[in-house]
Amino acid sequence: MKELKDRVAVVTGAASGIGAALARALAGEGMRLALADVEEPALAAFAETLRGAGAQVVAIPTDVSQRRDVEALADRVFRELGGAHLVCNNAGVCQGGPLLEMKDADWEWLLNVNFHGVRLGCSVFGPRLVEQGEPAHILNTASVGGWLSGGTLGMYSTTKYAVVGYSEALAMELEPHGVGVSVLCPSFIRTALTDAARNRPAALGTAPAGMEFVEAGMAQGGVPEDVARHAIRGIREGAPYIFTDAVFEPLIEERFQRARAALKRAAEPVSDA
């Protein structure tokens, strides 16, 4: 989708971090914005800042893990802005720790936001984009952790691997309808992701510790504005994958080398001995 000016963008997780940077950059491209976030005061304040800079913004408090919220978001977008052309399923949370120590509540939280939040955004907006019959695009935020797993971020990476696989399949489904799909895979970025537990539902209890590795990486990471620039270029190019730097290329290549070695081994006869 090359033309952005005067079109409508929906951004979830828009009140801070990568979502806020995307919103600012898309406003700079002349897009009209529907911003969604679970943090209502921060969302309202950020929307007002963008309006003060001349952007047309609708702020819609949304819990992306709840279908009723996402459907209400879509209803308002189409009613108040006349449609949507770019849907950025960006909301995400993180927690760290050994996989075998994670409780069901921990899995519920990360899966509901990181994967089901993306899935619901696509399943609710996708059919409307197709029916609309105009050029459109979906941007799903995963992570470089959707290509590499290990350490204390196994749970987080599991959810992001799911976003990558889901986005690849959805892209094939939507291509005949003129709707593109990109999966955004940032590396370490300086955001408030390590404080994501502030939005964890009280009913799920306290989040486990184990964010030290993430905090150390993010302290030396890139800035959200760089992610937004890469994202907009990728949207215009219809790129299936959008990375924000090449720091992890050797590790990703090593992963594919292991897979290729295993495939070659599979072609060899298996002895009965």
Torsion, CA 121, CA 110, CA 233, CA 60, rounded to 10: 50
Above 80 in pLDDT, residue 194? no
Q: Residue 130 is which amino acid? A: V
Rounded to an integer, what is the distance from CA 207 to the centroid of its chain? Answer: 21
The larger pLDDT score, comparing residue 207 to residue 78, is at: 78
Q: pLDDT tens, 121-156? A: 999 999 999 999 999 999 999 999 999 998 788 999
What average pLDDT does range 175-181 have in this prediction? 97
Phi and psi based region of residue 4 (left: phi greater than 0; alpha: psi -120 to 50; beta: remaining):
alpha
DSSP designation for 38: S
Return d(Cα 159, Cα 128) in angstroms, integer.
26
Q: Is 184 helix (H, G, I), strand (E, B) or coil?
A: strand
Cβ distance 45 to 23 under 8 Å? no
Q: pLDDT tens, 215-259? A: 777 777 889 999 999 999 999 999 999 999 999 999 999 999 999
DSSP designation for 99: G
Reported confidence tier of residue 31, pLDDT bands at 50, 70, 90: very high
Q: Show me where the domains of the chain are located.
A: 8-266
Question: Which CATH fold would you assign to the domain 8-266?
Answer: Rossmann fold (3.40.50)
Among 156, 161, 166, 241, the active-site one is 156
Which residue in 113, 70, 92 sits closest to 189, CA to CA?
A: 92
Whole-model pTM: value is: 0.94
Rounded to an integer, what is the distance from CA 219 to the centroid of its chain? Answer: 21
Does residue 156 have an active-site annotation?
yes
Which residue in 244, 246, 120 sits closest to 184, CA to CA?
A: 244
Cβ distance 37 to 61 under 8 Å? yes
Return d(Cα 126, Cα 137) in angstroms, integer.
9
Q: What is the pLDDT of residue 272?
A: 80
Rounded to an integer, what is the distance from CA 230 to the centroid of its chain? Answer: 14
Q: The sheet that has 32-37: what strands, in order across it?
A: 57-61, 32-37, 8-12, 86-89, 136-141, 179-185, 241-243
